[in-house]
Amino acid sequence: DVQMTQSPSILSASVGDRVTITCRASQNINIWLAWYRQKPGEAPELLIFRASSLENGVPTRFSGSGSGTQFTLTITSLQPEDSATYYCQQYNNKWTFGQGTKVEI
């Protein structure tokens, strides 16, 4: 099974900050990685797919990069509504989520 490890687990930042979340896969998953944001009490929403493709309607302050085993999600100019938990998910070999990164503002 492919294991996904995110860091940090918790991140504290201020409005307007640039933040980066890292996701590491236990084996090569090429570019088959997605990122989601889950606000408290809400369903997850897709932000990025294929490692770096922005989902329609998602603000351009979100971007993704990486391939193989190392990936990053970057949020430029953090907004109050970005207070949420972020998950990476691989889909190269079945489906596995990372444990999540909670972003506190």
100 with 37: CB under 8 angstroms?
A: no
**Is residue 17 close enough to count as binding another protein by CB under 8 A?**
no
What DSSP element (H or E) covers 62?
strand 62-67
Contact 30, 5 (CB under 8 A): no
Size, binding site for another protein by CB under 8 A: 23
Q: Which residue lies nearer to another protein by CB, 9 or 77?
A: 9
Nearer to another protein, 13 or 91 (CB): 91
One residue of 46, 54, 63, 76 binding another protein per CB under 8 A: 46
User: Does residue 59 sit in helix, strand or coil?
Assistant: coil
Examine residue 86 and tell whether it contacts another protein (CB under 8 A).
no
CB 77 within 8 A of CB 63: no
Residues at the contact surface with another protein, assessed by CB under 8 A: 1, 32, 34, 36, 38, 42-46, 49, 55, 85, 87, 89, 91, 94-100
